[in-house]
Amino acid sequence: MPKLDICFSPELLPLYDLRGQVAVIVDILRASSTIVTALGEGVTHVFPVASLEECTAYGQQHGCLTAAERDGLPAPGFDLGNSPFGFLDAMRPVRGRALTISTTNGTAALRRSLAAAEVVVGSFLNLAAVANFAREQQRDVLVVCAGWKGRFCLEDTVFGGALAERLSADFDVRSSDATLAALHLWEQGKADLPAYLLQSAHVRRLNSLEASKDFEFCLRVDSYANVLPVWREDRLVMA
Amino acid sequence: MPKLDICFSPELLPLYDLRGQVAVIVDILRASSTIVTALGEGVTHVFPVASLEECTAYGQQHGCLTAAERDGLPAPGFDLGNSPFGFLDAMRPVRGRALTISTTNGTAALRRSLAAAEVVVGSFLNLAAVANFAREQQRDVLVVCAGWKGRFCLEDTVFGGALAERLSADFDVRSSDATLAALHLWEQGKADLPAYLLQSAHVRRLNSLEASKDFEFCLRVDSYANVLPVWREDRLVMA
């Protein structure tokens, strides 16, 4: 039976051997949720980059949409911020366009996970797609939490618990203390996920920036149940 | 109000600035519990070392008792293993003796925390002593979980939650997601701590080595309520 483990911070990735595994990159607030939304709304592919400079450069080089934020607000000079609602604006259709998105924590997590056999992006929005892919692959899975500046982050962890619950019949979810803890936290919070995560320091930071609409959107389980961003060469595309 | 934060692995310590803080080193199974027991039973001071070779060398140099284990069993050629019961044997009194103890995870956590203003050793056995010391110091506290080979470990985390609960009136225990998660896990497990921790992968490893007597002992909250090992120069002594 394959194993599901959870890495709470990209800083801990050197302790894991990703070869042959599926890496699920998670940055619930908001990079992974926004990438899922973008592909779900018809964006053809996504280049995740760390810095604003790279974002500008990719935008020019590939003629694609650019999305960037700093300190929770849209960065000036880019087409979009990091809010998923940027991809739901009827006035600015995104279908058929490529995207480059600047996300510090998420890009770091993704780049450090490329030794894996498959790298996919997970969020509550596409939980079912991630679970189905894991079952098909029949490989060990490592959930890589982007965290916040390398530190443990509640919402990414709780996603790991939700995935572990979905996979508990097909995967060993009991042999790692990280997975056990994530399962416990998910079980505590799932009845009212927004209320549970509103305690989180990170969420409160986001909230104070009036991004609570994003917060609620990012917790809608399976609203893009068939959208699975997978890493191919240098970009994320639909599986 | 000072802050209580929890670092889930020594590998994450570079993310924290320990200067001016109190570091609480935790390795519930079993190094920190054993060190508390040793001092509680009259051992004068403890030299924690990483390797068996250092343990032998310190033992010869300082003429002290030596304690070491490998893979959960007492290592051959040393006076004691890492079981707290080694210090409760009427046939081999330890009062007035010094001790050197080999503990890989615990020593790594301690040595990486020496930038702190105060370094103390925490366990369920001396939870009250740690909480009292923290209140007296009125400094920010970082609980440093020794973890298991650098990874997240349930029993050390749950201790962090227990300490956060004790200090919740005097410390900010809500501004770190790690502390919030530890509090939640402690709240879930505290009614029957042995049953809760028996799920843990690490505990099951220990259990399979017939060390369940140690396990139960290490969870006895406040059985050494006045014993606080503090780091002074090159050793742990009673506060």
Pick A73 or A167 by higher pLDDT.
A167
Tell me the residues of A at the B interface, defined by beta carbons under 8 Å apart. Answer: 8-9, 11-12, 14-15, 148-154, 157, 174-178, 180-181, 184-185, 188, 199-202
| Max Cα-Cα span within chain B | 49
d(CA B215, CA B235): 26
Kindly report, residue by residue over B202-220, the tens digit of the pLDDT: 677 666 555 788 899 999 9
ipTM here: 0.94
Q: Which residues neighbour A233 within 8 Å (Cβ) at sequence distance 6 or greater? A: none
Nearest one of B196, B180, B200, B188 to B29, comparing CA atoms: B200
Q: How far is A122 from chain B (nearest CA, A)?
A: 20
Could you report how far apart the first and last alpha carbons of chain A are, in Å?
A: 24
Question: Which chain B residue is nearest to residue A202, measuring alpha carbons?
Answer: B177
Q: Which residues contact B117 (CB under 8 A, 6 or more apart)?
A: B19, B20, B21, B22, B137, B139
Place of tokens 């009062």: B95
Give me the domains of chain A, ranges plus CATH numbers.
4-234 (3.90.1560.10)
Q: What mean pLDDT do residues A55-66 have?
A: 95
Complete DSSP assignment for A2-69: -BEEEES-GGGGGGS--TTSEEEEE-TTTHHHHHHHHHHTT--EEEEESSHHHHHHHHHHHT-EEE-E
CB distance B21 to B142 below 8 Å: yes
Are the C-beta atoms of residues B121 and B227 closer than 8 Å to each other? no
Q: Reply yes or no on whether the pLDDT at A208 is more than 70.
A: no
Structure-block tokens of residue B225: 């309520």
Chain A / chain B CB contacts < 8 angstroms: 79
CB A81 within 8 A of CB A67: yes
Contact B36, B126 (CB under 8 A): yes
pLDDT values of chain B reduced to their tens digit, one per residue, 239 residues: 999 999 999 999 999 999 999 999 999 999 999 999 999 999 999 999 999 999 999 999 999 999 998 777 788 999 998 899 999 998 889 999 999 999 888 898 999 999 999 999 999 999 999 999 999 999 999 999 999 889 999 999 999 999 999 999 999 999 999 999 999 999 999 999 999 998 887 677 666 555 788 899 999 999 999 999 999 999 999 99
CB < 8 Å to A202, chain B:
177
Task: Name residue B24's beta-bridge partners.
Answer: B120, B143
Residue A156: strand, helix, or coil: helix
- Which residues of B sit within 8 Å Cβ distance of A? 8-9, 11-12, 14-15, 148-154, 157, 174-178, 180-181, 184-185, 188, 199-202
